Structure 1
Amino acid sequence: MLGWHDLRVPAPRLEITYCTQCRWLLRAGWTAQELLTTFPADLGEVALVPGTGGVFTVRLDDEMLWDRREQGGFPELPVLKQLVRDRVAPDRDLGHSDRKS
């Protein structure tokens, strides 16, 4: 019989770390929901990771896609979807969220 520790999470793993002190759980959850809706078969896991000190980062496997401190704010959802798409499904058209040619 397999236990929970025997289960393997398919790649890629998207991780959103959010500040609990700033109460950014709803923002992190909404972001996760939007990415799971857009990439239902392309993401193996989306994890919400509590943090402190004003952190809000989005990481895909070992690659940092967004850091609130470095980029100076929160990601616009179309921009974040493009960053994720470029790595997990580069041929996918994001429709109205896609960058203009």
Structure 2
Amino acid sequence: MTAPVEGPRIEIEYCAGCRWLMRAAWMAQELLSTFEGQLGEVALQPSRVPGTYQVRFDGDLIWCRKRNGGFPEVKALKQRVRDRLDPDMNLGHLDRE
């Protein structure tokens, strides 16, 4: 068995009643694919608060559906994670206008 990767924890808190599990799982997959070997964990957390969709990086809120006016585009979410994880990291086509 290999040792777990040490790195930041991403939490995606979603409204289970709104059926947003698949969206949260897809976002988690995208983050794990892009930042493979750099993230310690991506956790999916059902919320008891209706309409919740929030993303935290080591406990700091980096996206809130209500505050930011909707769900994040995967490009924007990856850029926010990159800016916290390694600001000099090139995301290839995601960094192009």
TM-score when normalising by structure 1: 0.86
Structure 2 residue corresponding to 1:14, chosen from 6, 10, 14: 10
Residue 76 of structure 2 is matched in structure 1 by 79
1:97 aligns with 2:94: yes
Structure 2 residue corresponding to 1:30, chosen from 26, 29, 42: 26
Q: Say how many residue pairs are matched.
A: 94
Deviation, structure 1 residue 10: 3.0
Please tell me the residue identity of whatever aligns with 1:62: G
Q: Which has the larger radius of gyration?
A: 1
Aligned-residue sequence identity (percent) comes to: 56
Distance in 2 (alpha carbons) for counterparts of 1:99 and 1:84: 17
TM-score when normalising by structure 2: 0.89
Distance in 1 (alpha carbons) for counterparts of 2:36 and 2:11: 15
Q: Return closer, same or farther for 1:43/1:18 CA change in 2, 3 Å cut-off.
A: same
Q: Is the 8 A contact 1:42 1:89 kept in 2?
A: no
Deviation, structure 1 residue 89: 1.7
Cα deviation 1:13-72 (Å, max 9, x = unaligned):
000001000000000000000000000111100000001301000000121000000001
Distance in 2 (alpha carbons) for counterparts of 1:44 and 1:63: 15
Q: Any unmatched runs of 5+ in structure 2?
A: none
Deviation, structure 1 residue 8: 8.1
Residue 3 of structure 1 is matched in structure 2 by none
Q: Any unmatched runs of 5+ in structure 1?
A: 1-6
- The SS at the match of 2:66 is helix
